[in-house]
Amino acid sequence: MAITHPNIKASLMADGRWGDFVSKREDYRVLGMGPTAALERVYSDFFSVEELSEMIPPKPVRIKKAKKVPKRPTLDPSAVVPGMEDIPPHPWDTSKRSAPISKPKPPKKVVEAVSKPKSTEKAPSAPKTHKQIREQNQHPKIASVVKASLADFDGRECSMETCVEWVGKHLHICDVDVGMCPDPTAWSLYQQCLSSPVFAQDFWKNLYPKYKKPDGDRGDETVDGSVTIAHLKELKAMRDRAIEAGNVR
């Protein structure tokens, strides 16, 4: 809230105009003026500018003293910073300073190389991969495919079972010759298995089991169970004869 200056208040009270001053000030407040604006308006209504300047002396202006800023120490361009003796001046440095004096480096110690005797022990080799182990365990490479003519077989022929059995026995043998083959069909199967791993796999999977003789097959005997049936009939006849003789209870 704006306060009336003591000199102005004393003058108004002495003239008997203090009550008019206060009522006038309140009227300006009702009109929407702020406290300071209403007070200044009432001053201009009751006093002239010269009277106000006499009753309200101007405030003395205080001049603030500037703070003293400490001066930064100036660096000598020719001075060398400790620890930076060996650093050359930057090419962009235009200051006229002398190049830093570098300290002499201590001489390097020369150590004579002593030749160590070479060790005869072999360094441990890296472990082999699965591919290297698989290649190592494989059978030596079979001879390449050899073509033959019918004259090389001298009319030799055999059954399909014999051809398949011969190929199975000689497929992984290195020193196989045409003269050892019993039939041209066997030689064709043999060469085809050598040239195609897929065909060799199919040979062992399908063809060889189909023509291989069972373990119980001997000579010209059939494998349809007729021999077993004959043995069972003979045993039954022996049992019947024993029952007729009264030897069986």
In this predicted model, what pLDDT tens digit does every residue of 50-63 receive, in sequence order?
Answer: 887 777 777 777 77
What does the pLDDT read at residue 94?
Answer: 57
What does the pLDDT read at residue 141?
Answer: 46
What does the pLDDT read at residue 77?
Answer: 56
Candidate ranges 34-48, 63-77, 140-154, 216-230; pick with highest mean pLDDT: 34-48
Lowest mean pLDDT among 24-38, 81-95, 147-161, 221-235: 81-95
Closest CA to 170 of 148, 149, 142: 142
Cβ atoms of 146 and 191 closer than 8 Å: yes
CA dihedral 9, 13, 15, 20 (to 10 degrees): 80
Lowest mean pLDDT among 29-38, 40-49, 127-136, 238-247: 127-136
What does the pLDDT read at residue 153?
Answer: 86
What does the pLDDT read at residue 181?
Answer: 92
* Predicted confidence (pLDDT) at residue 126 exceeds the cutoff of 50: yes
pLDDT greater at residue 1 or residue 225: 225
What does the pLDDT read at residue 142?
Answer: 47
What does the pLDDT read at residue 120?
Answer: 65
Query: How is 77-135 classified by DSSP, letter by letter?
Result: TT---TT-TTPPPPTT--S--PPPPPPPPPPPPP-PPPPPPPP-SPPPPPPPPHHHHHH
Mark residue 203 as left, alpha or beta (left: phi above 0; alpha: psi -120 to 50; beta: remaining). Answer: alpha
Query: How is 18-41 classified by DSSP, letter by letter?
Result: HHHHHHHHHHHHHTT--HHHHHHH
pLDDT tens-digit series, residues 151-165: 888 888 998 899 999
State mean pLDDT over 218-236.
Answer: 68
pLDDT tens-digit series, residues 198-215: 888 888 888 888 887 665
**245 pLDDT band (50/70/90 cuts)?**
confident
What does the pLDDT read at residue 183?
Answer: 92
Q: How far apart are CA 167 and CA 183, in angstroms?
A: 11
What does the pLDDT read at residue 166?
Answer: 92
* Three-state DSSP state, 56: coil
* Predicted confidence (pLDDT) at residue 93 exceeds the cutoff of 80: no
State mean pLDDT over 23-37.
Answer: 85
Lowest mean pLDDT among 105-109, 118-122, 144-148, 158-162: 118-122
* Predicted confidence (pLDDT) at residue 113 exceeds the cutoff of 50: yes
Q: How far apart are CA 190 and CA 65, in angstroms?
A: 117
Q: Which residue in the block uniquely carries the two structure tokens 């390097």?
A: 108
Q: How far apart are CA 229 and CA 232, in angstroms?
A: 5
pLDDT tens-digit series, residues 164-176: 999 998 888 888 8
